[in-house]
Amino acid sequence: MQLLLKAVLLALITAGCHQENSQVIKKESISNGDSSLTLIVHPYDNPSRLVERFTPLCQYLGSKLGQPVELVIARSYVDQIQRISKGQADIAYMGPTPFLRAQDHYLADKKNKLIPIAAEVKGGEASYHSVIVVRNTSDITKVDDLNGRTLALGAPHSFSSHYVPRVIIGNAGLAFKDLRDFAFLGRHERVALAVLHGDFDAGGLNREVAQRYKDRSPGLRILSTSPPLAPHLIVARPELPLKQLNLLKTALLNSDEQGDKYQSAIENLGSGTRFTKARMKPFELARRIIAAVESTPAALVSW
């Protein structure tokens, strides 16, 4: 909690935030078009790293909107989902699971849902990959070798560090019951380090994070890679004014017209990053993956 508060304090200094802490968003930020907007990010990485990564984007968007954009690091994936669904944040950077959880559950009976603004492009593709990794010294050579072994995962709502790894091992004929044990460690980096340190035999995480640790000694070896997955999105809360929506789309999608400030802010999210128009077709596979993990009732014939 202290680390989270430090991250938010850094956000206050570097991004011009006006909120007192990450748990409070001033009401005027969602009710007055002339005041600040909030961009909420799920805690998929170290909070201080997220502040460093997203602060330039907030500053860039603020310059294009003509009003400050404050950065909020959510306490959890669920915290982000609830806030953006309730209109307690204005903009969100969301992975497939949080986005679909908001649309299909929190806003299922609502006429107005989250508004996709842009899809993140990495390495020239509006998609990314989940992987199962082991130490490069491990005797594990295929996914079904995980039978009787331990598996580290990220957050329960993480698409690439929970849902997709579950399907990867499921396609190899394995369920949680076949593992010696499993654990949710929260962030992708924790999964990578837990496998490197020998605390777990294998881990499921985003390929981009896994590749940071491939060349270490010992390093990580990728055991299995998912098909291309639905991208992360920049979305707006339901009923964000049309003027602000259009300005956000122009700022994120018309990259050729935005100059050096755009390049600096976007590159800060990762080398080769940019944004493109959001398409919903890739999320059909994401829905199928989520359903495959969630749909079986935990029922007993008798107690």
Which of these, 278, 254, 250, 255, lies nearest to 267 by C-alpha position? 255
The number of domains in the chain is: 2
- From CA 162, how far away is CA 84, in angstroms rounded? 22
Place of tokens 């959001």: 278
Q: What is the pLDDT of residue 302?
A: 87
Which of these, 55, 53, 71, lies nearest to 268 by C-alpha position? 53
Which CATH number fits the domain that encloses residue 37? 3.40.190.10
Percent over 90 (pLDDT), the chain: 79
Does residue 213 sit in the same domain as residue 249? no
Q: What is the pLDDT of residue 299?
A: 84
Q: Given 203, 227, 251, which residue is the final one in a domain?
A: 227
b/e map of 293-303 (b: 16 or more CB within 10 Å)?
A: eeeeeeeeeee
Task: Give the DSSP letter of residue 203.
Answer: E
DSSP 236-247: E-TT--HHHHHH
Q: What is the pLDDT of residue 255?
A: 77
Q: What is the pLDDT of residue 34?
A: 56
Does the pLDDT of residue 280 top 60, yes or no?
A: yes
- From CA 56, how far away is CA 65, in angstroms rounded? 14
User: Are 144 and 171 spatial neighbours (Cβ–Cβ below 8 Å)?
Assistant: no
Q: What is the dihedral of CA 253, 255, 256, 260, to 10 degrees?
A: 160
Task: Dump pLDDT digits (tens) for 153-194.
Answer: 999 999 999 999 999 999 999 999 999 999 999 999 999 999
Please give the span between the terminal C-alpha atoms of the chain, in angstroms, as a whole number: 40
Q: What is the pLDDT of residue 291?
A: 96
Does the pLDDT of residue 24 top 60, yes or no?
A: no
For the chain, what is the largest distance between any 2 Cα atoms, rounded to a whole number of angstroms? 65
Does residue 120 sit in the same domain as residue 15? yes
- Read off the pLDDT band of 257 (50, 70, 90): confident
In which domain, by residue range, is 113 found? 2-126+231-290
Range of weakest confidence among 109-113, 214-218, 224-228, 280-284: 214-218
Residues in the chain: 303
> What's the mean pLDDT in 201-225?
96
Does residue 268 sit in the same domain as residue 249? yes
Task: Dump pLDDT digits (tens) for 51-71.
Answer: 999 999 999 999 999 999 999
Q: What is the mean pLDDT of the chain?
A: 89
Backbone angles phi, psi at 301, to 5 degrees: -65, -40
Q: What pTM was estimated for this model as a whole? A: 0.86
Does the pLDDT of residue 30 top 50, yes or no?
A: no
User: Are 88 and 30 spatial neighbours (Cβ–Cβ below 8 Å)?
Assistant: yes
